[in-house]
Amino acid sequence: MAEPRDRPVLGVLGGMGPLAGATFAGRLVALTPAARDQDHIPVILRNDPRVPDRSSARLGQGEDPLEAMLRGIRLLERAGADLIAIPCNTAHLWFDQLAAQAKVPLLHIIESVCDDLERLGAGGCRVGLMGTAATLQLGLYRGPLQRRGFDVLETAPEDVRLCTQAIDAVKTNHPERALAPAAACIERLIERGAQAVVLGCTELPLAVPHAGRRAFGVPLTDSIDALARAAIARCTMAAAPAEA
C-alpha cells in the first residue's frame, strides 16, 4: 500500500528585487493544484533587499553579491529548506558557485524557462529574449536556449533601454509606468521575427500583466511562473506516495 510522504520545504532566496520575491511566493500558491491548505508547498521566504546589485557587479560597477547570497542560502538551510529557488535571473550568473557551496539542491531559473517554452508549444521556435543589460551582454540565456534547440533573438542594443526602463519602474514601485516600454520591446522583437518572447528578468512579468499577454499574439514565458512551476513539479514528485 502506498504511503504519502511530506512535501519538501522550499526555500526562496528573494529580495532581488523585493516585489519579484514576494510575487514568486504568491504565484507559487496560485499555480499549485490544491483542494485544501495542506495541499500547498511549505515555503520559507528570505526577501532580503540588501544583496548588492547583480547587474552592476557583473558589469564591473559594484560590489560582488556572492557572499550575501550565500548567507541567505545558509539561513534557508538552517531554517529547514530542502530545496531552494532564486527568483532573480541575473543572480544565476553565480549559480555554479552557489550550487557548489549549498547543502541542498538549487532550482535553475533558465532551465525552468526552457521547460516552460516547451510547455507553451514553442519548442524549436525563434525566441526573443528580454532581460537586464548583464543578462543580455553575458549570454546567460543564449547557451541553454541553443542547447535546447531554440533560435535566440536578443533585444537589440538600442532597445535594451526599454527593458531597463520597465525593470526600474517595477523596482521603484511604479509598475504602471513599466508596461509601455516593456510592450514596445516585445513588439520590436516580434517585428524582427520572434515567435515567442522570454521575460528574462523577474521584474518584467510584473510589467506585463497576465490579462493583456494574449494581445501580443505570441507565447510569453514568464520567468517567475516558470520557476514556480518547476518548484511545484519538483516538490510534488518528491512527495509522491512511496510504493509498498
Q: Measuring CA to CA, which residue among 162, 243, 176 is closest to residue 209?
A: 176
Assigned domain for 2 exists: no
Mean pLDDT over residues 203-227, rounded?
96
Round to whole Å and give the CA distance between 50 and 147.
34
Q: Are residues 34 and 46 in the same domain?
A: yes
CA dihedral sign, ordered 183, 185, 186, 191: positive
Judge whether residue 41 has pLDDT over 50: yes
Q: Are residues 44 and 54 in the same domain?
A: yes
CATH label of the domain that carries residue 125 = 3.40.50.1860
Judge whether residue 240 has pLDDT over 90: no
Torsion angle in degrees (nearest 10) through CA of 29, 52, 132, 15:
10
Assigned domain for 98 exists: yes
Q: Are residues 171 and 71 in the same domain?
A: no
Q: Are residues 33 and 81 in the same domain?
A: yes
Assigned domain for 73 exists: yes
Assigned domain for 52 exists: yes
Q: What is the pLDDT of residue 190?
A: 98
Q: Are residues 93 and 43 in the same domain?
A: yes
Round to whole Å and give the CA distance between 186 and 200.
12
> To the nearest whole number, what is the mean pLDDT of the chain?
94
Q: Are residues 126 and 175 in the same domain?
A: yes
The domain containing residue 78 runs over which residues?
10-108+227-238
Assigned domain for 86 exists: yes
Beta strands in the chain (DSSP E): 10-14, 43-47, 83-85, 126-130, 151-154, 196-199, 220-222
Q: What is the pLDDT of residue 6?
A: 78
pLDDT category at 5 given cuts 50, 70, 90 is: low
Q: Are residues 96 and 24 in the same domain?
A: yes
Torsion angle in degrees (nearest 10) through CA of 68, 69, 73, 79:
50
Q: What is the pLDDT of residue 239?
A: 62
Q: What is the pLDDT of residue 8?
A: 94
Mean pLDDT over residues 113-124, rounded?
96
What burial class does residue 4 get, using C-beta atoms within 10 Å of its C-beta: 0-12 exposed, 13-18 middle, 19+ buried? exposed
pLDDT in tens, 147-169: 999 999 999 999 999 999 999 99
Q: Are residues 27 and 73 in the same domain?
A: yes
Assigned domain for 231 exists: yes
User: In whole angstroms, how far apart are CA 230 and each of 36, 65, 152, 243?
Assistant: 21, 25, 22, 24
Q: Are residues 204 and 114 in the same domain?
A: yes
Q: What is the pLDDT of residue 237?
A: 83
Structural domains counted in the chain? 2
Q: Are residues 72 and 141 in the same domain?
A: no
Assigned domain for 5 exists: no
Mean pLDDT over residues 193-209, rounded?
97
127: three-class secondary structure by DSSP: strand
Q: Are residues 89 and 168 in the same domain?
A: no
Q: Are residues 36 and 60 in the same domain?
A: yes
Mean pLDDT over residues 127-146, rounded?
95
Assigned domain for 211 exists: yes
Is the distance from CB of 86 to CB of 106 less than 8 angstroms?
Answer: yes
pLDDT in tens, 48-106: 999 999 999 998 999 999 999 999 999 999 999 999 999 999 999 999 999 999 999 99
Distance separating the N- and C-terminal Cα atoms of the chain: 5
**Which percentage of the chain shows pLDDT scores above 70?**
95
CA 188 from chain centre, in angstroms, equals: 22
Q: Mind telling me the catalytic residues?
A: 88, 201
Mean pLDDT over residues 104-124, rounded?
96
Round to whole Å and give the CA distance between 178 and 183.
9
Q: What is the pLDDT of residue 153?
A: 97
Judge whether residue 7 has pLDDT over 90: no
